[in-house]
């Protein structure tokens, strides 16, 4: 009896050694056949899901699209494949130094949406940095944390306190022009033109002990106009 059991065990072991595993990377690759590949006109796309592969054979996943939903990709090639007996269309996309193949069904034509939260966070940091160039009076009014563009813009629109010494006024001018540069071009055509004209006036104004009040008035008007437009971005 012991000999029979031992022989059965050896037979089972022999079978286990010769029977291949159910799924291997080689067999997975062989299931995908590239039928055709063609170049296409370069177009912008974006997506929220799907995997991006290193090749049209889908042999290796390179990126996951859900991590790049605010990225604009450009399509330049198209491939028709057969995967497990089913036909599908892949496209080759590229964004900066990232590229790969993805099923076309996961893409939407056009540029990716703006990541508003990230833009606001960056603008808040840059706004604070700009205000650090201002006089201490202006810094006290305008720096800090902001709930949004409405809060940020209101720091320029309401309760704006400027320095009244020539050096302080020049510091405030530098700060205002930095804020203008940060938001330059974000408004409509006429608003951008008006701001550009006001910024030019402020920049070229010769600030002296005799005209400090005029300079402060012009900057307050410019700051209120700019602040109101920043509020409108909310």
Q: How confident is the model at residue 137 (pLDDT cuts 50, 70, 90)?
A: confident
Q: What percentage of the chain has pLDDT greater than the value 90?
A: 65
Highest mean pLDDT among 10-19, 158-167, 211-220: 211-220
Q: Which value, in Å, is the radius of gyration of the alpha carbons in the chain?
A: 32
Each residue's pLDDT tens digit, 163-174: 678 899 899 999
Residue 19 scores a pLDDT above 70:
no
Query: Rounded mean pLDDT of the chain?
Result: 86
Return the pLDDT at 160.
61
Residue 8 scores a pLDDT above 50:
no
Q: What percentage of the chain has pLDDT greater than the value 70?
A: 85
């Amino acid at each position: 009896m012991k000999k029979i059991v031992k022989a059965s065990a050896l037979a089972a072991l022999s079978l286990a050694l010769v029977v291949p595993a159910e799924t291997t990377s080689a067999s997975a690759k062989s299931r995908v056949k590239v039928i055709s590949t063609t170049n296409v006109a370069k177009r912008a796309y974006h997506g929220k899901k799907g995997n991006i592969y290193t090749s049209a054979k889908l042999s290796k996943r390179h990126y996951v699209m859900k991590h790049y939903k605010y990225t604009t990709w450009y399509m330049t090639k198209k491939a028709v494949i057969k995967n497990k007996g089913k036909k599908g269309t892949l496209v080759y996309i590229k964004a900066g130094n990232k590229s790969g193949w993805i099923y076309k069904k996961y893409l939407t034509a056009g540029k990716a949406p703006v990541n508003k939260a990230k833009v606001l966070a960056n603008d808040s940091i840059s706004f604070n940095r700009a205000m650090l160039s201002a006089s201490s009076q202006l810094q006290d009014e305008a720096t800090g944390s902001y709930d949004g563009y409405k809060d940020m813009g209101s720091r320029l629109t309401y309760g704006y306190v400027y320095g009244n010494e020539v050096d302080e006024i020049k510091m405030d001018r530098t700060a205002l022009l930095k804020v203008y540069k940060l938001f330059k071009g974000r408004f409509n055509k006429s608003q951008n033109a008006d701001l550009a004209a006001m910024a030019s006036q402020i920049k070229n104004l010769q600030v002296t002990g005799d005209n400090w009040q005029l300079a402060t008035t012009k900057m307050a008007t410019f700051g209120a106009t700019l602040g109101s437009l920043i509020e409108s971005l909310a």
